Homo-oligomer: A and B are copies of this chain.
Amino acid sequence: MGGRVCGDPDLVIRAAATLGRAGQGDISFLMNPRYGRQLQTTKASAVIVAQAVEAPVALLVAEDPYYAFTQVMVLLYGYRKHKETGVSPQAVISDTAVLGVGCHVHPFATIADNARIGQRCIIYPCVYIGEGVTIGDDCIIYPSVTIYERCMIGQRVIINAGSVIGVDGFGYATHEGVHHRIPHVGAVVIEDDVEIGSCCGIERGTLDDTVIGQGSKLSDLVTIGHGTKVGPHCLLVAQVGIAGSTTLGHHCVVGGQAGIVGHITIGNNVTIGGRAGVINSVPDGQTVLGAPALEADEARRAYAMLPYLPQMRQEIRDLQNRLRKIAAQMEPPSDDSKEP
């Protein structure tokens, strides 16, 4: 794990559990300082921490404790094991589709003409893979996923249940009050190591492809507009929506329920807060928050003012009144001034 053990190095660990629920033989972890006090009371045999502290439990001090925890989890449990079903005769696979060796295709899956699936892919029930779709090696497509024609999926891609890849973009030309659909000849390109949550909708491009960059991860109910390019290694949290023709750089993090308008450029290493509404391009490395989104420090200061608004308005009223009185005191009464 790249960590340092404080305590008995021969401890046997059999399972992982949260600090609150761990017992003898369990390893736990402390990432969020919010839970720091639990370190003193946990019944875990060992805890992964970022910094050595006094605690009545063995510690694994790791520079990157969350990564260490992940490695421990992989060691203890591994990833989901998939049943080796082979290619079901109850799947419908076109004669012109090509399947690599070692694929498992479940019943009720459909693989249309000229689709090309790599090696060791797992296609769960009720998946629809459209005409000419290409899928790399070692992909997992969970139940009821639909991939429209000609989309290109890389290697080791995971698409969770109910997601839809390559639906036509929301592009209509309104003419004399009627909306005319624009044919979408672009596709969706999903690069290697991308993972997509459940019930996502990723639109195909009008002319250019929509792209989800290598290693990017999308959570549940995320939607990406036509022609948008999400760079590599981005994290898009649940219910994020990105409109069309927008570009995200690499290593962007977009918080839950955030929205990004179309036709803008989000730089590299940009962080967008949950529920943010981003309507302007964002330069590299910036963090933006709020709707409308502002640079983080500015946003924190600005949005923190909201509760004070009624008071501010009252203070302005008070100032106006006091100023009126002062002005009245300073000026001699106008009538008198004319008399002598």
Contact = CB atoms under 8 A, between A and B. Distances in A.
Interface string A57-84: 0000000101101100110011110010
A164 B162 contact: yes
Contact of A146 (B144, B164, B175, B206): B144
B256 A243 contact: yes
A144 B170 contact: no
A201 B126 CA distance: 18
B320 A173 contact: no
Interface in A134-158: 142-144, 146, 148-149
A107 B110 contact: yes
Interface stretch (A3-11, A214-222, A332-340): A214-222
Interface string A106-142: 1110101100000000001110100100000000001
Contacts of A199: 162-164, 199-201, 221, 223
A110 B108 contact: yes
A309 interface: yes
A241 B243 contact: no
Contact of A161 (B32, B146, B241): B146
Contacts of A223: 199, 219-221, 238-239
Given A291-B291, A305-B313, A217 B172 contact: yes
Contact of A259 (B174, B257, B313): B257
Copies in the complex: 3
Interface residues of A, number: 118
Interface of A is mostly: loop
A100 B181 CA distance: 25
Given A112-B83, A125-B92, A162-B164, A219 B292 contact: no
A215 B178 contact: yes
A79 B110 contact: no
Given A257-B277, A302-B306, 16 more contacts: A64-B175, A92-B108, A126-B126, A167-B198, A179-B215, A199-B223, A221-B223, A223-B239, A243-B274, A257-B257, A259-B274, A275-B277, A294-B306, A302-B309, A312-B316, A323-B326
Given A162-B146, A274-B277, A170 B238 contact: yes
Contacts of A160: 164, 167-168, 201
